[in-house]
Amino acid sequence: MKKALLLILAAALLSSCGPTNALYYWGGAQNGTTAYENLAYQSYDKQTPKSICNLVAVYEKMVTNPGGIRQVPPPGICAEYGYLLLRPETADIFMKNATDAQKKLFQSDDYGVLFSERGKEMLRKEMELYPESARFIEPLIKKLAR
């Protein structure tokens, strides 16, 4: 009887180990990796206008509709997204190559101004959500202000 009780207790304890839901949403699973992992790799490995537009779209979805237990974008995503938006060529690439569905994610056609403002907003949001990132983000914001 004691062995059975100990066995049931051990099974109950072990079955409750580990999270059942992800802490953060990384853009959905695709072939064992997340959409973020796939698109980020494609964008940095073989950067094309299409890969940049896809990455902008997945970042926008991740920050506007965060999932996971915490319901906030994962660490580093706002900073990466902000940096991507602030790159001078991103707005022009997006304007010329984005699909209609990707363009619908934004309320403006002036992507230069929109991406500049949104990029700075994302850098500030990264520091707000993850204060430890301020050490890296503040110098970048100061450099961009020049």
Confidence band (pLDDT; 50, 70, 90) for 9?
low
Mean of the pLDDT values across residues 54-72?
A: 90
> 29 forms bridges with which residues in the sheet?
34
Instruction: Answer yes or no: are the C-beta atoms of 62 and 27 closer than 8 Å.
Output: yes
- pLDDT tens-digit series, residues 24-58: 767 777 667 777 777 777 777 788 999 999 999 99
Query: What pLDDT, on a 0 to 100 scale, did the predictor assign at position 119?
Result: 95
Which residues form the domain of 96?
Answer: 30-145
> Looking at the predicted structure, is the pLDDT value of residue 12 above 60?
no
Mean of the pLDDT values across residues 87-114?
A: 94
* Residue whose tokens read 């990264």: 126
Confidence band (pLDDT; 50, 70, 90) for 13?
low
Query: What pLDDT, on a 0 to 100 scale, did the predictor assign at position 109?
Result: 86
Number of structural domains (the chain) is 1
Amino acid at 35: A
Q: Is residue 18 part of a domain?
A: no
Length of the chain: 146
51 burial via Cβ count (<10 Å: 0-12, 13-18, 19+): buried
Query: What pLDDT, on a 0 to 100 scale, did the predictor assign at position 39?
Result: 75
Q: Is residue 2 part of a domain?
A: no
pTM over 0.75: yes
CA distance 100 to 78: 23
- Six-digit token pair at 54? 């896809």
Q: Is residue 6 part of a domain?
A: no
Mean of the pLDDT values across residues 80-102?
A: 95
Q: Is residue 10 part of a domain?
A: no
